[in-house]
Amino acid sequence: MLAKESMYRFAIATTLLLAAGGLQAADRKAPTDAELIASAMRAAPASIAKKATIVVPGADGTMRTLRKGTNAFICMPDDPATPGPDPMCADKNAWAWLGAYMAHKPPPPGLGMAYMLQGGVDASNTDPSLMKPAAGGRWIRTGPHLMIFGADAAFYDAYPKDAMPDTSVPYVMWAGTPYQHLMVPVH
């Protein structure tokens, strides 16, 4: 029940972000389901993506399943409202963690992992509430990477926690917050 509730909150928050970012711009053609599936599948290794469930936020705040999968991963396509490709593919625990983050709730216990093999951009490496860089700031661009969620706090102490991280090596995003997680580049 908690996973469904977290997924629902994540869907609502993601839908609001997409709407605020102008996903439905009047002059932009909406992507087809096939294009959305192809985008989502670029997030993870082919062996995972081909068996993953593919979802996209619907206009009503719920996740619309584009393709039912047979493994424990859920993939989402690129968010065109951000300044770079950022499809994501997460396991069950990571999906619950992401749902808690989007709902501003404490993350659930348990390790989770997500892939972003197309890379991603983030507004801040220190403030999980920012949806765009602070005035005068810039987006943090991370190349292809995977993320580890839900580790013990001591686990993260072995990695850099800089405000402007070197994204070519593993680093902690949002250090010292309930939402800290490890970003691991994939070369």
Q: Give the separation between CA 7 and CA 23, rounded to whole angstroms.
A: 21
pLDDT band at 6 (very low <50, low <70, confident <90, very high): very low
- Helix residue ranges, H only, the chain: 2-20, 33-41, 46-49, 92-102, 153-156
| Host H or E run for residue 7 | helix 2-20
pLDDT band at 139 (very low <50, low <70, confident <90, very high): confident
Q: Give the separation between CA 169 and CA 154, rounded to whole angstroms.
A: 19
| CA distances for 53 relative to 8, 9, 93, 95, 150, angstroms | 16, 18, 15, 12, 22
Does residue 141 have a pLDDT over 70? Answer: yes
Does residue 161 have a pLDDT over 90? Answer: yes
Q: Give the separation between CA 65 and CA 137, rounded to whole angstroms.
A: 36
Query: In sequence order, what E strands does 15-87 have?
Result: 53-57, 63-67, 74-76
| Host H or E run for residue 173 | strand 171-173
Q: Give the separation between CA 96 and CA 72, rounded to whole angstroms.
A: 12
12-26, 107-121, 122-136, 145-159: least confidently modelled range: 12-26
Q: Which domain holds residue 153?
A: 2-185
Do 109 and 136 contact (CB within 8 A), yes or no? no
pTM over 0.85: no
pLDDT of residue 70: 97
pLDDT of residue 102: 85
pLDDT band at 28 (very low <50, low <70, confident <90, very high): low
pLDDT of residue 12: 37
Of residues 93 and 25, more confidence is placed in 93
Percent of the chain at pLDDT above 70? 84
**pLDDT tens-digit series, residues 89-138:** 999 999 999 989 988 999 999 999 999 999 998 888 899 988 888 888 88
**pLDDT tens-digit series, residues 48-76:** 999 999 999 877 768 899 999 999 999 99
The angle subtended at Cα 22 by Cα 65 and Cα 122, nearest 5°, is 80
Q: Give the separation between CA 166 and CA 131, rounded to whole angstroms.
A: 21
Number of domains the chain contains: 1
For the CA atoms of 169, 170, 175, 181, the dihedral, rounded to the nearest 10 degrees, stands at: 150
pLDDT band at 27 (very low <50, low <70, confident <90, very high): low
